Structure 1
Amino acid sequence: MLTLAKNRRTAYRIIIAKNPSPSVFHAAEELKRFLGEISGADFPIAFDTEPRKDEEIIIGKNDHFDALLPESGIDLSSLGTEGVWLKAVGQTLILAGSDVRGALYAVYQLLDEHLGCRWFTAEDSFIPTRPTLTLPDGFEDRFVPPLEFRDPYMYGYNDGAFYSRNRCNAESGQLGPAEGGKVTYARFVHSMQELVPPNEYFAEHPEYFALRIDENGNGVRQNGYAQPCLTNPEVLAIAKKNVRRILASRPNADIISVSQNDNFTFCQCEKCRAVDEEEGSHAGTLLRFVNAIAEDIEKDYPNVAVDTLAYQYTRKPPKITKPRKNVIVRLCSIECCFGHPLESCSLSGTEGGQGSFTADLEGWSAISNRLHIWDYTANFAHAIQPFPDFKVLKPNIQYFIRHGVTGIFEEGENSVREHGELNPLRQYVLAKLLWNPELDFDRLVNEFLTAYFGMAAPAVREWYDLLHAGVTDDVHVHIYDSPNQPYLSDAFLDASEPIFDEAERLADDEKILARVKKLRLSIRYVRLAHTPKDAEGRAEEAERFIEDVRASGIGSYREGTVLADVEPRIRNAEI
């Protein structure tokens, strides 16, 4: 047994290289801090220039790591940038990983998975107290994350320490050199507008932009926020030039987006139609265009991938063209049901949205070297109302990984800096599952609720279960659902009220009470939507609700709006 600390004292020291990377140095600081908080002991940090001794915690590659290599058998090359290998060799503990993020993640793997530390939000954590701290003989844990890109995105919830400690690596997290950096995009999405800007070219070259057939059968070139004509060689040349311009200005970029604008105005000219008909998908013109750009830059930018979307009209994979090895396809699940796992939802056997999504995923998986997912975890039309998607989070991530997905972007509510509903819980469990999709889901939920809601946690869990019980086999959940859904029935609202009364009664303090009341806003919103404008007391409740929302810090009711945009509709029962 390794006794790292006993009765608040330790014989151990932390060893790092004399000239460590910023993340390895930060890893040592984090380990010293949290081992100290757990045990009460002071773990000094030393460099590998010191003589070896048995009682050491070695972080990353250094001379002491190398000295134990014949005994440890740790192969750093097998871990990639982010894999971890924790191993006891005699009385020495090795926390191995790359000097980019792997060694830092090895520290968090120890603290989280083996010592019980939790970082639930930027403000809420749990650090256990153990004056005597031990690990078993033969202790070993090797883990390589299945996903190269992990982002539980929610606007405003991008604290770098939260992202790093939960081993998320996306650009939306405030991750600097100390956290090992991040996967960096040069433009994130919907980039065609910049790559082929209509304000520069449309006046003289309308043929560069989508031809759309109007109701009279006439072709009309589209100005403004439309798609370019992807079979026009001059358009391709312009896009190549602008991709190179962007990459020259972003020398640290890992990925550049060459992706369609966010609308359906794809080109219907004769050449584009011919390609799409040959390929059996509008992805045909897009992927040929993207492949040409990827080929153009691969020699000068061998470590940069070109990212594009399989989204809405480009979601179906093409019959002929395959993505080049330096192309990432991000498949978007926007049409799907988020109340049932993709594999078991009754909509999966239907034509259209969900049924074809599973087929499209398997189709892209068969032809793609790097397949990512753009997933959705919010109601973008009614961000404040309950969104019962928790039961799909783990099975869908597992399903994606089984089909070769290597990156997942989970798009949460993206316009509300202070979130209502259960978004803090949602971001936490997503962060954990993106790192390790085999974790116990109920344990994640219950640990979070206990930390975040204190004595009120059992009541909040009762409401969470009530909400999800409304999603039966024939009741589906989509990201633009109105408040008039079967899972948001008056019976559900009536059953929710005494649960929230109890949660408010049990709240430990004013902070917990404010969190419970903030969560309760979600059912108050739905109740107002269900109540006729002239109903007794509705006008007064609408004003109280609006005042309480503003006091809570919530900044919007729906994507692309501010509170003032929606408040008249709340007053007028037009939600």
Structure 2
Amino acid sequence: MNKIIPGLALFTLFTVCTAAGIELASDGKTQYAIVCDPGAPPADRFAARELKMFLDQSTGADFKIVASAPDKGRFIFLGPLRQAKKIIGEKRFANLKNQEAAIVSADDSIAIAGQGKLGTIYGVYSFLENQIGCRWLTLEGDNIVPKHRTLILPKLDYTQKPYFDYRWIQTIGYEGTRTPEGTLFLFRNRMNLSDFNYRPPVVNPEPDAIVPERVLHNPMCHTLFSYIPPEEKPHWAARNKKTGYLKTNPEFFTLDEKGQRVARQLCFSNKALRAELTRVFLEFIGKKNGEGVFALTQEDVPKNFCNCIPCLKLDAKYSVPYGGFIEYILELSSEMAKKYPEARLLFSAYRKEQTQTPPLNLPLKKLPDNLIVEFCPIDNDFSKDYSHKNNLSVYNDLKKWGTLSNHLWAYYYTMPYGGYAPVSTMYRWAADTRLAAEAGARGVCYEHKSGWLGINNADLQTWILLKLYQNPFQDYKPLIKEFCDYYYGPVSNEIQGYVAELEKRTAEYPVFLPWHVRINDYLTPPNLVRWNHLFDSLEHKAGNDPALLRKIRECRLGLDLITLEKYLDVKRFDPAFKDSAADIHKRGMATLDAMIARRYPNDMWPGQSKTQHNHIAKTLNANLLTATVRPPPLPEQFSRIPESDIRQLFPGNSRYCTVVNMPDAAIGHAVYDEKLKPDEYKLPFPCGFYDNENKKHVISHNITREEIVPDRFHLYKIGKASFSRECQIWAYPSSRVNYSCERFFEPGRDDKWEVWLSLKFEGPAFSAKNTEKENRVWFDRAVFVKCN
């Protein structure tokens, strides 16, 4: 939806009212026409329609589009027309770079023209932003179109080009790009690479005009097994009809540390593997008309590529743990250049222990021109930017790649994948986008999908990312204000303050923050209570404005989820906290339903909408259970312990465990290791407590036959531990039954806790009397008792 905003107080524009200015419109009338050659490329013709639409909306006038015009007069000349080139200057126009546009006025005329298939339309969008004040803020069509009763422009003479040549953003976590509004939002904000964002079922309102600079073909990442599938079942992104290579050609795959061939990566010292991969890869490029970007990147599995002697020799030759892979990449790029000169090969510099560090001793000073290096730092500190000491080695690798490659792209993870808790890291990626530009990056591909359905201001962050793609050297903070002033209106200052506090607290995170960890340090009961009071006041301010209330509640959803998770701690801190757990759950579910309806109108893409809804709904339901469950009393030995000194954890569904209803379990359900076969149960039974933050086994306990109380749930004391920012309890030989305990971590405290696991042992492996049931160990809760 386009919002017509009276006045220009929110915008810094070049528009001034002077007698010498160009009066484009006044009182709903205009003497100007837009000149566009009807034979112009589709993007230029679309540019004329976009310019007309927004000028009409802004002024109330009717700007006609005409096919031709005399050299002088009240015209806006679009594209490489003779008049436009004359106004801009023939030589100046010829020297414009691809995607660069000149916006120049002369007498009563204006010329907007650019180079490449997208240069002119980018010039139109720059004109609409700079001169009119238009903004395209969200995937759902929240657009700003300021209303000008009289529109007078000063003399215009500037060029504008997005700084990065290639720009892409992955918004899969709150998918909205498959609507016309989502497609237009990304295009108007100059995204110019495509993969799924422009493929069916996306609705592209201008399929001939809204086109990418280059097509980024799927699969885009972790692609080796798409071309050489190890398993007999079809790979999810198969580009090869043949499957089951691990069985037919085990020598194609990693030789692991035990001397076995495993499906970890490929063995690139093997000449037959290289020949087969090249054949399949080139065949796929041919099916795509030999054009676009094709990724050949390692599987997302840690450790080096291969331990066979020839591979290790190649590693030593290039002083990296992927010597055979980089040698093959150079070989493949040479073959591609011969057969498909318009195709580009994308190589991923990913993981410190794999391809992040540039190779030495290459046979050339610069990498081939058809090879793109995509730098993907996953092992850095996610609370600090590249300039921090924790990340300097990562940034040095980025700069080294910049000296090796003329086609360096920065792939980036905007936020840690720590779930739904309130977090903001704009300070980090704004700095790193600038530093990537200074290191020589020419493309940006940001994985911005950890904000489910817009949680944690993902809409705000998406827009700012797209603006930084255009100019990475600008200050991002005024962009926050600009977005919030429009989007949140009367509560803008409070939302900005909330975001600023999250930014500050994330930046101050005292230890190294890995990609997968949730920050708990500031998610304390006092802060949760204070922030809930803030949002209560914002909802009160929204009054009878349902649109504003929806936006406030979307911003609040992450807070609702974490408040529900820590509800018992919140009530201990503030017994007068007014919202019940049921109230928070009801509000969260209503917000979720509204978000799904808005993001997926008319039940668009039902599979994805159901997945997104279920993901958050299950979390809300699980957190409600944690907040409201009233398990039976603990055994007699715990009766004198104050409730405030006891924490309990109840297991839920996980990757290897499914909740099973059991009447005798603490809260009516329990889990077990689904992958463990009955004959694999052994004694003693291992369990423990692992401190992921400090990488140490705090408790490694074995339950012996003598300790076991068979056929009923019994609490087993396994040791003492302190909660950390990332920690878990585990059980079973496989350690697959594991549950995070960091929700109980309190910054500044180092209390010791007794750890008790409630387990039920069934089957003959644990009791000679029990021969009717299969061997199985059930887990229904963990109990932590503070040591005094």
TM-score, normalised with respect to structure 1: 0.89
Indicate conservation of the 8 Å contact 1:287/1:323, yes or no: no
Match of 1:213 in 2: 257
2:297 to 249, 255, 259: 259
Matched ranges for 1:231-270 at <5 A: 231-251=269-289, 253-264=291-302, 266-270=305-309
2:39 to 19, 38, 50: 19
2:555 to 516, 519, 523: 519
Compared with structure 1, are the counterparts of its residues 149 and 4 closer, same or farther at alpha carbon in structure 2 (3 Å cutoff)?
A: same
> Does structure 1 residue 378 correspond to structure 2 residue 378?
no
1:500 to 520, 523, 535: 535
Deviation at 1:495, TM superposition (A): 2.8
Is the partner of 1:8 in helix, strand or coil? coil
Is the partner of 1:160 in helix, strand or coil? helix
Compared with structure 1, are the counterparts of its residues 376 and 103 closer, same or farther at alpha carbon in structure 2 (3 Å cutoff)?
A: same
Match of 1:350 in 2: none
Match of 1:193 in 2: 225
Q: CA RMSD in A?
A: 2.7
- Give the letter aligned to residue 251 of structure 1: N
Indicate conservation of the 8 Å contact 1:339/1:391, yes or no: no
> More deviation in 195-204 or 170-179?
170-179
Deviations along 1:313-339, one digit per CA (max 9) or x if unpaired, are: 211111123632211111112222333
1:436 to 461, 468, 471: 471
Compared with structure 1, are the counterparts of its residues 407 and 227 closer, same or farther at alpha carbon in structure 2 (3 Å cutoff)?
A: same
1:284 to 300, 313, 323: 323
- Give the letter aligned to residue 271 of structure 1: P
Deviation at 1:538, TM superposition (A): 7.6
Match of 2:332 in 1: 293
1:83 to 80, 84, 100: 100
Match of 1:562 in 2: 615
- For structure 1, list consecutive stretches of 5 or more residues without a partner in the other structure: 348-353
Which structure features the higher share of helix residues? 1
Match of 1:169 in 2: 192
- Give the letter aligned to residue 119 of structure 1: W
Deviations along 1:78-133, one digit per CA (max 9) or x if unpaired, are: 33331111111222111011351110000000001222101101321111111221
Deviation at 1:539, TM superposition (A): 6.0
Match of 2:71 in 1: 52
Higher relative contact order (CA 8 A, sep 6+): 1
Deviation at 1:367, TM superposition (A): 1.0
- Give the letter aligned to residue 171 of structure 2: M
Aligned residues: 555
Percentage of matched positions with identical amino acids: 23
Structure-2 separation of matches of 1:443 and 1:279: 46
Deviation at 1:524, TM superposition (A): 2.4
> Does structure 1 residue 271 correspond to structure 2 residue 294?
no
> Does structure 1 residue 150 correspond to structure 2 residue 164?
no
Match of 2:143 in 1: 125
Match of 2:345 in 1: 306
Structure-1 separation of matches of 2:525 and 2:411: 33
Deviations along 1:126-171, one digit per CA (max 9) or x if unpaired, are: 111112212212x111123221111232111322110111111121
Compared with structure 1, are the counterparts of its residues 498 and 562 closer, same or farther at alpha carbon in structure 2 (3 Å cutoff)?
A: closer
- For structure 2, list consecutive stretches of 5 or more residues without a partner in the other structure: 1-20, 199-203, 232-242, 573-578, 597-607, 627-648, 650-739, 744-788
> Does structure 1 residue 405 correspond to structure 2 residue 441?
yes
Deviation at 1:492, TM superposition (A): 2.7
1:394 to 421, 424, 430: 430
Deviation at 1:506, TM superposition (A): 1.6
Deviation at 1:542, TM superposition (A): 7.1
Is the partner of 2:385 in helix, strand or coil? coil
Structure-1 separation of matches of 2:302 and 2:384: 28
Match of 2:215 in 1: 184
Structure-2 separation of matches of 1:140 and 1:557: 50
Deviation at 1:560, TM superposition (A): 13
Structure-2 separation of matches of 1:475 and 1:483: 10
- Give the letter aligned to residue 310 of structure 1: A
Structure-2 separation of matches of 1:203 and 1:559: 37
- Give the letter aligned to residue 451 of structure 1: Y
Structure-1 separation of matches of 2:551 and 2:230: 47
Indicate conservation of the 8 Å contact 1:24/1:99, yes or no: no
Match of 2:7 in 1: none
Match of 2:374 in 1: 330
Matched ranges for 1:92-131 at <5 A: 92-98=109-115, 100-122=117-139, 123-131=141-149
- Give the letter aligned to residue 222 of structure 1: V
Compared with structure 1, are the counterparts of its residues 86 and 178 closer, same or farther at alpha carbon in structure 2 (3 Å cutoff)?
A: same
> More deviation in 310-319 or 422-431?
310-319
TM-score, normalised with respect to structure 2: 0.66
Match of 1:28 in 2: 48
Structure-2 separation of matches of 1:546 and 1:161: 30
Matched ranges for 1:531-542 at <5 A: 531-532=567-568, 540=582
Compared with structure 1, are the counterparts of its residues 284 and 212 closer, same or farther at alpha carbon in structure 2 (3 Å cutoff)?
A: same
Match of 2:397 in 1: 360
Compared with structure 1, are the counterparts of its residues 102 and 19 closer, same or farther at alpha carbon in structure 2 (3 Å cutoff)?
A: same
Compared with structure 1, are the counterparts of its residues 431 and 256 closer, same or farther at alpha carbon in structure 2 (3 Å cutoff)?
A: same
Structure-1 separation of matches of 2:610 and 2:499: 21
Structure-2 separation of matches of 1:532 and 1:99: 60
Is the partner of 1:302 in helix, strand or coil? coil
Is the partner of 1:134 in helix, strand or coil? strand
> Does structure 1 residue 72 correspond to structure 2 residue 63?
no
Indicate conservation of the 8 Å contact 1:15/1:58, yes or no: yes
Indicate conservation of the 8 Å contact 1:15/1:56, yes or no: yes
> More deviation in 257-266 or 469-478?
469-478
Compared with structure 1, are the counterparts of its residues 125 and 255 closer, same or farther at alpha carbon in structure 2 (3 Å cutoff)?
A: same
- Give the letter aligned to residue 191 of structure 1: T
Which structure features the higher share of strand residues? 2
Structure-1 separation of matches of 2:97 and 2:443: 15
Structure-1 separation of matches of 2:81 and 2:290: 26
Structure-2 separation of matches of 1:475 and 1:529: 23
Structure-2 separation of matches of 1:521 and 1:65: 51
Compared with structure 1, are the counterparts of its residues 128 and 415 closer, same or farther at alpha carbon in structure 2 (3 Å cutoff)?
A: closer
Indicate conservation of the 8 Å contact 1:116/1:128, yes or no: yes
Is the partner of 2:265 in helix, strand or coil? coil
Indicate conservation of the 8 Å contact 2:171/2:449, yes or no: yes
Structure-1 separation of matches of 2:108 and 2:471: 28
Compared with structure 1, are the counterparts of its residues 561 and 330 closer, same or farther at alpha carbon in structure 2 (3 Å cutoff)?
A: farther
Is the partner of 2:338 in helix, strand or coil? coil
Deviation at 1:406, TM superposition (A): 0.6
Match of 1:319 in 2: 360
Is the partner of 1:80 in helix, strand or coil? coil
Is the partner of 1:150 in helix, strand or coil? strand
Structure-1 separation of matches of 2:612 and 2:330: 33
Deviation at 1:60, TM superposition (A): 0.9
- Give the letter aligned to residue 228 of structure 2: V
Deviations along 1:383-421, one digit per CA (max 9) or x if unpaired, are: x222220112322111100110011111111694x3222
Q: Which has the larger radius of gyration?
A: 2
Is the partner of 1:111 in helix, strand or coil? helix
1:445 to 464, 475, 480: 480
